[in-house]
């Protein structure tokens, strides 16, 4: 199998390392030379600066890891070339052209998955199983929080040049930290309405929002609140889900979740496997994509899932523009 990585910033480099770790050797690269990382690890690999020439090599799978606003151009061309796709989240910075992408993939018969890698977190998967079992009763509400100081993400570059900080590349805290919008929907079901407030509170000198406070109402009646920001130090990423018969409290820093059972009052603990680290989610995601390209697996996070997440992002922005007025999703 041949793989093309389109975009060689930090996430593209991670995907390259993980492909190699999985024993994949037939790898080609497409780049526009905008990345600010050194090129030593790219040595010996075919590098193309024109997408059409890269696709002429007939890759079986294309990993779309360039900036968000540029995803669709690459994804459409790759789909038209008959490749399977792994599209980094979010799928785009708008909905324009995504129906065409779906249609093209349907015609080619090739699959696509979206890189919401927290779906591969072992403890979040245990939580999903626990919720589905009904042991804690019906979920009632949830609260997610993700704050992380943007200048600390990529210390080798001026953070203001990064895709996360640039409106023209599809940045902003809502797009860039959209993982909770996906995993809340994955855990609790479809979202019915969104209210949100966004803006700039810090002195980070950004032309995109640096914080968002979001309320979600789910079709089954649950409600959730979500806070995102670019300025918190030290970082924090947590999720609490309250159910009729107990509560789940997950902390990304440890990877663990405490389970509180209302009946006996004794907490239990969900823990990741020994040796688990953040890259394991990306590695498992890439292993799933390799199997997807081989025809052995259905996508764990489909293009339709990615589009739903993008609809949530856009609903957040629409509500914020209307000073928190609720936006209903069809």
The string of pLDDT tens digits covering residues 210-255 is 999 999 999 999 999 999 999 999 999 999 999 999 999 999 999 9
Instruction: Give the domain ranges of the chain.
Output: 3-117+284-300, 120-275+308-328
User: What phi, psi does 302 have (nearest 5°)?
Assistant: -80, 170
The string of pLDDT tens digits covering residues 163-182 is 999 999 999 999 999 999 99
Q: What's domain 3-117+284-300's superfamily in CATH?
A: NAD(P)-binding Rossmann-like Domain (3.40.50.720)
The string of pLDDT tens digits covering residues 20-79 is 999 999 999 999 877 667 788 898 999 999 999 999 999 999 999 999 999 999 999 999
**Dist. CA 230–CA 200, nearest whole Å:** 10
Q: What is the CA radius of gyration of the chain?
A: 20
Q: Give the pLDDT score at 35.
A: 67
In angstroms, the Cα distances linking 253 to 158, 181, 203, 233, 238 are 25, 19, 26, 13, 8
| Topology adopted by domain 120-275+308-328 | Dihydrodipicolinate Reductase; domain 2 (3.30.360)
What DSSP string describes 219-277? TTS-EEEEEEES--SS-EEEEEEEETTEEEEEETTT--EEEEETTT---EEE-PPTT--
């Amino acid at each position: 199998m041949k793989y093309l990585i389109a975009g060689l910033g930090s996430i593209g480099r991670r995907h390259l390392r993980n492909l190699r770790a999985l024993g994949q050797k037939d790898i080609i690269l497409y780049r526009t030379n905008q990345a600010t990382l050194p090129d030593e690890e790219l040595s010996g690999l075919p590098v193309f600066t024109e997408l059409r020439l890269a696709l002429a090599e007939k890759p079986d799978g294309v990993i779309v890891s360039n900036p968000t606003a540029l995803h669709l151009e690459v994804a459409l061309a790759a789909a038209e070339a008959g490749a399977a796709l792994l599209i980094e989240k979010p799928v785009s910075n708008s909905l324009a052209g995504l129906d065409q992408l779906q249609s093209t993939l349907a015609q080619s018969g090739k699959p696509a998955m979206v890189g919401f890698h927290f779906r591969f977190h072992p403890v979040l998967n245990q939580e999903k199983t626990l919720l589905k079992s009904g042991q804690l009763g019906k979920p009632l509400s949830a609260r997610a929080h993700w704050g992380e100081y943007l200048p600390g993400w990529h210390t080798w570059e001026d953070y203001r040049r990064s895709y996360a900080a640039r409106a023209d590349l599809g940045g902003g805290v809502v797009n860039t930290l959209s993982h909770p919008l996906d995993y809340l929907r994955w855990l609790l079901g479809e979202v019915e309405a969104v209210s949100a407030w966004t803006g700039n509170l810090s002195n980070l000198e950004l032309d995109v929002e640096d914080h968002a406070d979001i309320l979600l109402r789910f079709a089954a009646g649950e409600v959730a609140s979500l806070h995102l920001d670019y300025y918190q130090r030290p970082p924090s990423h947590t999720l609490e889900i309250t159910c009729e018969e107990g509560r789940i409290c997950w902390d990304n820093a440890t990877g663990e979740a405490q389970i509180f059972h209302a009946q006996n009052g004794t907490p239990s603990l969900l823990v990741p496997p020994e040796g688990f680290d953040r890259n394991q989610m990306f590695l498992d995601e890439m292993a799933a994509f390799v199997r997807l390209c081989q025809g052995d697996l259905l996508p764990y996070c489909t293009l339709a899932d990615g589009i739903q997440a993008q609809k949530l992002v856009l609903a957040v922005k629409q509500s914020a523009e209307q000073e928190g007025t609720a936006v209903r999703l069809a």
